[in-house]
């Protein structure tokens, strides 16, 4: 008997969820969950353009420039494990709308900031909300998804990051004619989140979480060797990926400014939109592959192509218009890794700790993102590419040896196979 079969009603719900089709409930939950990722993509992309002008307008020092760059990531580093733990303790539903309140309030205060302290604190506190949304949204989506289409739904959800990035580039394109365009673009992001919060409070609680609170629920031994092997895997794979992904992705406007488009803000915004299309295309290609060829294929192939492109880029030193298709391809294939590393924790860890592990993994990944963001300006562009190539090669070896296959299995089956003690 399945170790989770303590109450027939709950398992009946699981069977219906696992073997059913994508219905209205999943579509509604997908929309509301993915909007958190959308807002993350919007915000973290909007700052990459804004940072081209904010330091001069607010009279930043070099260190203040770097601190504002990483401020939201530092907030995410804190918000993800704290809200992830709370989600496991008091329920997914209670936290599902709360986290975005941080985003609304502090996105607006960021747009009204007049100095370094105000902007840093606003983006830091906003990052707490964004970080908390990662473990909650991905866990909710995983726990409500049919097993044969869970990969497609989770990849689609993560893919909303690049739709948010595209929208941010378009908003930048519209407002960049104003010298203080960043004030408008920050505030718009906060306003977008308001209706999402109101709708999120109407989502039902996860039946898997409800069962995990029953006194007869069997909690898996968290000290088993394979538990720690998988924990190291999800932390290390996501950390290594984010070093390269954010080390480059955070600076695309800066990169293209240095490669022949200096002070051409509208052209940079257009290129940023095109790069975002590359990210969206990567997810569209991955959608049918996740539940057919599997997670291992996507993450191994993604790290391999990332490594090859970064090595070539550091040697060939592409500039000008030729750099656009290069980074377009890089963004396209890096999404295969980004999607799978983000939702792996939700598929292989027990319900009682699922959101906590996802929060911890998100936090560790933000350390990698901060490392990449800090490293990039310390070296010439093509030297940075070679450093990020080394991280990608390390990631490739990690996933070849450790990445599990979770396609077409229920969450409980994956837990039994990869993290539960026998």
The packing angle between helices 323-348 and 295-316, to 10°, is 150
Average pLDDT over residues 327-356: 92
Half-sphere exposure of 6 (CA within 13 A, CB side): 14
Of residues 215 and 407, more confidence is placed in: 407
Q: Summarize pLDDT for 261-298 with one digit per residue, the tens.
A: 665 677 777 887 888 888 899 999 999 999 999 999 99
* Tens digits of residue pLDDT in 232-265: 999 999 999 999 998 888 777 777 776 666 656 7
CB distance 384 to 376 below 8 Å: yes
**The pLDDT of residue 3 is above 50:** no
Q: For residues 312 and 404, is the Cβ–Cβ distance under 8 A?
A: no
The answer to whether the beta carbons of residues 353 and 217 sit under 8 Å apart is no
Six-digit token pair at 375?
């490293």
Give the count of beta carbons closer than 10 Å to the beta carbon of residue 334. Answer: 25
Enumerate helices (H) and strands (E) in the chain, giving the number of each: 18, 0
Check whether 227 has a pLDDT greater than 70. yes
- The predicted pLDDT at position 34 comes to 92
What pLDDT score does 368 carry?
Answer: 95
Task: Identify whether the C-beta of residue 119 lies closer than 8 Å to the C-beta of residue 68.
Answer: yes
What does the pLDDT average to over 107-117?
95
- CA–CA distance, 147 with 145 (Å, rounded to integer): 6
Q: Buried b vs exposed e over 21-60: b needs ≥16 C-beta within 10 Å?
A: ebeeebeebbebbbbbbbbbbbbbbbbbbbbbebbeebeb
User: Which domains does the chain show, CATH number per domain?
Assistant: 8-418 (1.20.1250.20)
* Mean pLDDT in residue range 314-330: 82
Give the pLDDT band (50/70/90) at residue 170. confident
Tell me what pLDDT residue 376 has: 84
Q: Taking residues 412-416, report their average pLDDT.
A: 89
Distance (Å, whole) CA 164 – CA 313: 27
| Average pLDDT for the chain | 87
Among 241-245, 319-323, 349-353, name the one with the lowest average pLDDT. 319-323
Secondary element (H or E) of residue 23: none
Kindly list the distances between the CA atom of residue 382 and the CA atoms of 20, 62, 196, 317, 396, in Å, as whole numbers in the listed order: 49, 21, 41, 6, 21
Q: Is 115 exposed, middle or buried (0-12, 13-18, 19+ CB in 10 A)?
A: exposed
Residue 120 pLDDT exceeds 90: yes
Q: Are 420 and 350 in contact (CB under 8 A)?
A: yes
Report percent pLDDT > 70 for the chain.
92
Looking at residue 193, its pLDDT comes to 92
């Amino acid at each position: 008997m399945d170790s989770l079969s303590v109450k027939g009603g709950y398992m009946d719900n699981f069977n219906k969820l696992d073997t059913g089709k994508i219905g209205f409930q999943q579509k509604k939950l997908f929309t509301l969950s993915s909007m958190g990722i959308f807002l993350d993509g919007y915000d973290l992309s909007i700052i990459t353009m804004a940072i081209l002008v904010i330091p001069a307008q607010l009279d930043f020092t070099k260190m203040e420039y770097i601190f504002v760059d990483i401020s939201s990531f530092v907030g995410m580093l804190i918000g993800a494990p704290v809200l992830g733990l709370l989600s496991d303790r008091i329920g997914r539903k209670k936290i599902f709308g709360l986290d975005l309140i941080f985003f609304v309030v502090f996105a607006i205060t960021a747009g009204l900031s007049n100095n370094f302290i105000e902007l840093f604190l606003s983006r830091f506190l906003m990052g707490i909300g964004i970080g908390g949304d990662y473990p909650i949204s991905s866990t909710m989506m995983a726990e409500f998804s049919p097993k044969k289409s869970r990969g497609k739904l989770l990849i689609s959800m993560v893919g909303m990051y690049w739709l948010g990035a595209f929208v941010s580039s378009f908003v930048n394109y519209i407002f960049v004619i104003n010298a203080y365009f960043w004030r408008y673009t920050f505030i718009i992001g906060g306003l977008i989140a308001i209706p999402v919060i109101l709708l999120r409070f109407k989502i039902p609680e996860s039946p898997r979480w409800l069962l995990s609170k029953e006194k007869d629920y069997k909690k898996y031994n968290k000290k088993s060797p394979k538990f720690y092997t998988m924990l190291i895997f999800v932390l290390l794979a996501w950390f290594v990926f984010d070093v390269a992904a954010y080390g480059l992705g955070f600076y695309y406007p800066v990169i293209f400014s240095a490669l022949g488009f200096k002070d051409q803000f509208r052209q940079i915004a257009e290129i940023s939109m095109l790069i975002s299309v590359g990210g969206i295309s990567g997810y569209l290609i991955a959608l049918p592959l996740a539940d057919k060829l599997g997670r291992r294929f996507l993450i191994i192939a993604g790290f391999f192509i990332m490594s090859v492109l970064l090595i070539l880029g550091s040697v060939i030193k592409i500039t000008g218009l030729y750099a656009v298709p290069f980074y377009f391809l890089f963004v396209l294939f890096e999404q295969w890794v980004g999607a799978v590393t983000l939702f792996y924790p939700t598929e292989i860890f027990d319900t009682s700790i699922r959101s906590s592990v996802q929060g911890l993994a998100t936090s560790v990944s933000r350390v990698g993102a901060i490392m990449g963001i800090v490293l990039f300006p310390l070296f010439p562009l093509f030297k940075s590419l070679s450093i990020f190539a080394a991280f990608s090669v390390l990631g490739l070896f990690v996933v070849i040896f450790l990445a599990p296959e979770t396609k077409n299995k229920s969450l409980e089956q994956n837990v039994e196979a990869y993290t539960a003690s026998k």
